[in-house]
């Protein structure tokens, strides 16, 4: 009987899933074992976790929490964010890092898009969104899950 390939037997812990939800906690999961390796408990804080994004260098996690965005250092055991961006007046519904990791873009139900400069932890630019209705036969937009994969 042939031996199992080494890749099948190996448990690669370099792939981590990050989840957040209405329970107010952010969890890091080892993809191959299903073990929760870290939990960021936000006790005493209000607001569900709406969206998560991991920086291109896999060093930072952006968590859209109600009207703010917290930036956490992934390798740190601390539950405290490095910085919080608080400027939206309604739920933050989207968050994304620029490909070089210098900028963070957020969008909110308040109709604004904001660009944050991560180098100086400050708001760089903002824009008001103008929405138009979808034509009757247009496909509905895809809604991203709150799970982000770190490889």
- pLDDT tens-digit series, residues 12-46: 446 788 999 888 899 999 988 999 999 998 777 77
Mind listing the pLDDT tens digit for each residue in 68-122? 999 999 989 899 999 999 989 999 999 999 998 889 999 999 888 999 999 888 7
Contacts of 30 (CB under 8 A, 6+ apart): 13, 15, 16, 37
Provide the whole-model pTM: 0.73
Report all structural domains of the chain as residue ranges with CATH numbers, in order of start: 47-146 (2.120.10.30)
| 83 vs 9: CA distance, rounded Å | 40
């Amino acid at each position: 009987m042939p031996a199992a390939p080494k890749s099948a037997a190996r448990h690669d812990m370099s792939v981590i899933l990050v989840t957040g939800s209405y329970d107010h906690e952010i969890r890091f999961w080892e993809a191959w074992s299903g073990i929760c390796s870290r939990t960021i408990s936000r006790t005493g804080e209000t607001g569900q976790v709406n969206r998560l994004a991991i920086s291109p260098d896999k060093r930072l996690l952006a968590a859209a929490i109600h009207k703010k965005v917290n930036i956490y250092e992934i390798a740190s055991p601390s539950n405290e964010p490095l910085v919080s961006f608080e400027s939206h007046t309604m739920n933050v519904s989207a968050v994304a890092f620029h490909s070089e990791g210098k900028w963070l873009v957020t969008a909110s139900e308040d109709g604004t898009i904001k660009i944050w400069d991560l180098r100086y932890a400050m708001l760089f630019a903002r824009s008001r969104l103008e929405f138009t209705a979808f034509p009757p036969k247009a496909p509905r937009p895809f809604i991203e899950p709150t799970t982000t994969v770190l490889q």
